Amino acid sequence: MTQWRTTIQDLIAHSPAQAVVYTRHRWLLSLVLLALGGLAGWGGGWLIAKIGPLFTVLLTLAVGYAVWAVLDIRVAYLGVIGVITLLPFASLPYKIGFKPTFLDLVLGVLFLSWLGPYLLGEKRTFKITTVGVPVLAFALLAVLTFVAGVMRSSLNSYLLRHFAEILLAIFIFYLVVNSTQEAALLETVVRWLILGAVAAAVLGIVLYLLPDRLAIQLLSALGRVGYPTGSGVLRYIRDDPSLMKRATSTSVDPNVLGSLLNVTLSLTLPQLFAKRPLFPRWLTAGFFAVMSVALGLTVSRGSAIGFAVAALVIAVARYRQMLPWIGGAVLLLAMLPWTQAYVAHFIAGLQGHDLSTQMRFGEYKDALRLIRRYPVLGVGFTGAPDIDIYVGVADVYMMIAEQMGLLGLTVFLLAVGTLLVRFWQRRTLMRSRPDLEPLWYGVHAAVIGGLVGGIFDRYFFSLDFPHSVTLFWIILGLAVAAEELSSPDERSIMAVNHSPTS
């Protein structure tokens, strides 16, 4: 058994050719490589005969990515972030008992990449952290309320699968905290998030500007991987084509795209004022402008408010030079002729005059009725047990209270509240850490933007949007990881790899 384990470790640590040289069990490794080569040849021929050469090539590329990602967690993070930002609703065209989503597959690879060294006996520290304690309590409470809900309702594969995805999304918090214990990897993950969001923003703008027929044709092509098709892929305010069109990119819903841009704009903003930004400053400014335009085209008021609050918080806390820029942006939005319809729609929402806001008020009223009826543990994740109430509201906090009760909401608020208190307490300490400070402010601003945006949308806690839930817990994990790196006892591992400024 020891021979097999050391052989696998040698194969993981080196290329196959190097492993033959360095391994202590050369005969065993040669046997393994010969068997793998024969299996690959036989399997390739069988796949070509069964599914054709195109899908065989795609499957081969997917397997190649999986192997590479297992060996390099940076590649695994790239896959997860790429799916979250660009193909969040994609699933395999074939069933293997069920249709796995792309997100399921890349998350599995990421967890395998992280757990691999533990499984092979490598000694690594595992951090729970102060924030991690209530996060664990929240996850366990989610399981409890799910079981309680199943006991008074029926269970189906959809609910079981999507709840498992939500639970996996919560536990990715620990993966992020424990895998990004070096600043270089933390920076890499943040870069992937920004680049993925920029790509989604560019797609959203291009599809918005294209003729409707061509945009429908392009978006409908994604139907092969589980996306909706037809004219419904174009979205408008209240789904009325006579009203403003809304950008969606490949996120299906404009508010889903808005929630992504909310947190990534908050993540990017401090980089504009960093002495050593993650990207050249001119490129960072371009990224920020593209994402800002895309956010405006989504007409997502909740996401816009979330980003605005995050920007104000970090401007007041650290970057006071942002304040004139924020004021100038507000004046431009109020004065430019082509933004008047957007401003009018925004003001109507604040005043509660438009139909969308009035419908949300109705949802809030119904949600409060459900919470009063099931205040402690909620109704679980299987739906409302009474026919006169329903589960569903455009608010993360009410959604948690509906499904996990006020107890679940309290534990969630304790987790994020602990993070925000520590953020405020450490802001002065971070002045002495110019290498980490902009990144630290960025990930915390993203958390703040997501929490404020959650007042108006439910995407960061919904069975129907597991990729958005995953994104939120990744951001929360990055904030805690940045905080851990800023601690005095962590300075020895601060090997920061900065990009040059322009």
Rounded CA-CA distance 144/147 in Å is 5
Helix axes 437-453, 466-485, angle to 10 degrees: 150
What's the residue count for the chain? 502
CB of 287 closer than 8 Å to CB of 198:
yes
Cβ-based neighbours of 315, under 8 Å, separated by 6 or more: 322, 323, 326
Least confident of 89-93, 95-99, 244-248: 95-99
- Give the count of alpha carbons within 13 A of 412, CB side only: 23
pLDDT at 86: 95
Residue 180: pLDDT over 80: yes
Q: Given a cut of 60, is residue 495 above it in pLDDT?
A: no
Torsion of CA 460, 184, 284, 441, to 10 degrees: 60
pLDDT tens, 474-483?
999 999 999 8
How much is the pLDDT for 496? Answer: 36
What's the CA gap between 242 and 236, in Å, rounded? 8
pLDDT(499) > 50: no
- Tell whether the model's pLDDT for residue 19 goes beyond 90: no
Lowest mean pLDDT among 28-42, 120-134, 333-347, 453-467: 28-42
Residue 265 neighbours by CB under 8 Å, 6+ apart: 197, 288, 291, 292, 295, 307, 449
* Distance of alpha carbon 104 from alpha carbon 82, whole angstroms: 13
3-class state of residue 23 by DSSP: coil
- Rounded Cα–Cα distance for residues 282 and 285 (Å): 5
List all residues 6 or more positions away from 120 whose beta carbon is below 8 Å from its beta carbon: 5, 8, 9, 12
Per-residue confidence band for 256, with pLDDT thresholds at 50, 70 and 90: very high
Average pLDDT over residues 298-313: 92
Q: Over the Cα atoms of the chain, what is R_g?
A: 24
CA–chain centroid gap for 310, Å, is 18
pLDDT at 290: 96
The torsion angles phi and psi of 460, rounded to 5 degrees, stand at -80, 5
- Binned at pLDDT 50, 70 and 90, residue 127 comes out as confident
Of residues 337 and 318, the one with the higher pLDDT is 318
Beta bridge partners of 101: 91
How much is the average pLDDT of 489-502?
39
Q: What residues contact 244, with CB distance under 8 A and at least 6 apart?
A: 236, 237, 299, 341, 342, 345
pLDDT tens track for 277-293? 999 999 999 999 999 99
Tokens found for residue 468: 């958005």
Residue 229, phi-psi category: left (phi > 0), alpha (psi -120 to 50), beta (remainder)? beta
Please report, for residues 68, 102, 428, 430, 475, the alpha-carbon distance to residue 425 in angstroms, rounded to integers and kept in the order given.
40, 39, 7, 10, 20
Ramachandran angles phi, psi of 243, nearest 5°:
-100, -175
**pLDDT band, very low/low/confident/very high, at 18 (cuts 50, 70, 90):** very low
pLDDT value of residue 35: 66
pLDDT of residue 16: 46
Lowest mean pLDDT among 91-100, 197-206, 295-304, 462-471: 91-100
Query: For residue range 216-227, what is the model confidence (pLDDT) as tens digits?
Result: 999 999 998 889
Sign, CA dihedral 382-388-393-395, equals negative
Using the Cα atoms of residue 260, residue 266, residue 271 and residue 272 in order, give the sign of their dihedral: positive
Give residue 497's pLDDT band: very low, low, confident or very high (50, 70, 90). very low
Average pLDDT for 153-178: 89
Highest mean pLDDT among 222-236, 384-398, 407-421: 407-421
Rounded to whole angstroms, what are the CA distances from 366 to 2, 389, 391?
A: 61, 7, 9
Q: If 0-12 CB within 10 Å is exposed, 13-18 middle and 19+ buried, where does residue 295 land?
A: buried
What's the token pair of residue 324? 């004139």
Q: What is the pLDDT of residues 40-66, one digit of tens each?
A: 655 555 555 554 555 556 667 777 778
Residue 456 burial class via C-beta count within 10 angstroms: exposed 0-12, middle 13-18, buried 19 and up:
buried
Q: Quick one: pLDDT at residue 151?
A: 85
Tokens matching residue 210: 């294209």
Residue 259 near residue 453, CB atoms below 8 Å: yes
